[in-house]
Chain A
Amino acid sequence: MSLSAKQKATVKDFFGKMATRSDDIGAEALSRLVAVYPQTKSYFAHWKSASPGSAPVRKHGITIMGGVYDAVGKIDDLKAGLLSLSELHAFMLRVDPVNFKLLAHCMLVCMSMVFPEEFTPQVHVAVDKFLAQLALALCEKYR
């Protein structure tokens, strides 16, 4: 399920529109992840608080969204572009890949909330595919 040229353009275009709200969306998405799927808090036991809306959660959501934006710039070769991030996730963080899908869903919900008109079904499928490709690239070094 790789991205067509048109879908890559759609992703770049939508993320461009989203840029001014990307911090909010990133922070909200991670908050919703830990709220809707409480088992994901297991990765954040070392924080003072992993509850939705807390400072460490919001800050980390922003960090993650920054990584996603970085990946948009590398959309033509995610595997190569995300090599070191993949090593980080494989050998240090060891996040179960199922969680990438859960976070992607929360990101899509937030995008839909903030951009109800722009987040059309066509944009939705392109972004969903991109996030899935991103997750695959992150898993590259897992085994």
Chain B
Amino acid sequence: MVEWTDSERAIINSIFSNLDYEEIGRKSLCRCLIVYPWTQRYFGAFGNLYNAETIMANPLIAAHGTKILHGLDRALKNMDDIKNTYAELSLLHSDKLHVDPDNFRLLADCLTVVIAAKMGTAFTVETQVAWQKFLSVVVSALGRQYH
């Protein structure tokens, strides 16, 4: 089981309570599709992903980014059992969506870069440590049910 200090819990909760899900979700998914273009393979039905500009203007991508970010809420509410909280979602990504779990890490990295841009100097070393710990637990849980 993952141990969280009070400080880590406070940091993670603070980030989420100040989060603009639409803005950060959209920016993170767009950045992932642009920086790691092979991730576009999962978005064949999402319309025009021809270049960076069209990706960033795509409303389906924006909506999906928001959805993904809200998916993190479950981990936030169940920080002491993220592994089981995501068991079902992990199976979904494995059996229905067929997403290579390495992509979770790529999206997590993009999310970190976007949050860092938003928070600036408030994204302290301590904040980054807690945030990346949280994301790595989520990423691990999402990949856990693959078989």
Contacts and interface: CB of A to CB of B under 8 A. Distances in A.
Mostly, the B contact residues are helix
Given A121-B56, A128-B35, A35 B128 contact: yes
Interface stretch (B41-49, B75-83, B108-116): B108-116
Interface stretch (A15-23, A75-83, A87-95, A112-120): A112-120
Interface in B1-33: 30-31
Nearest to A121: B34
A75 to B, nearest CB: 19
Given A121-B34, A124-B35, A113 B119 contact: yes
Q: How large is the interface on B (under 10, 10 to 19, 20 to 34, 35 or more residues)?
A: 20 to 34
Contacts of B132: 36
A130 to B, nearest CB: 12
A128 to B, nearest CB: 6
Contacts of A108: 113
Given A32-B125, A32-B128, A124-B35, 9 more contacts: A36-B132, A105-B112, A110-B116, A113-B117, A113-B120, A119-B113, A119-B117, A124-B34, A125-B35
Interface residues of A, number: 21
A121 B31 contact: yes
B146 interface: no
| 10 residue pairs, one from A and one from B, having the closest CB atoms | A116-B117, A121-B34, A112-B117, A125-B35, A112-B116, A112-B113, A121-B31, A113-B116, A109-B116, A35-B125
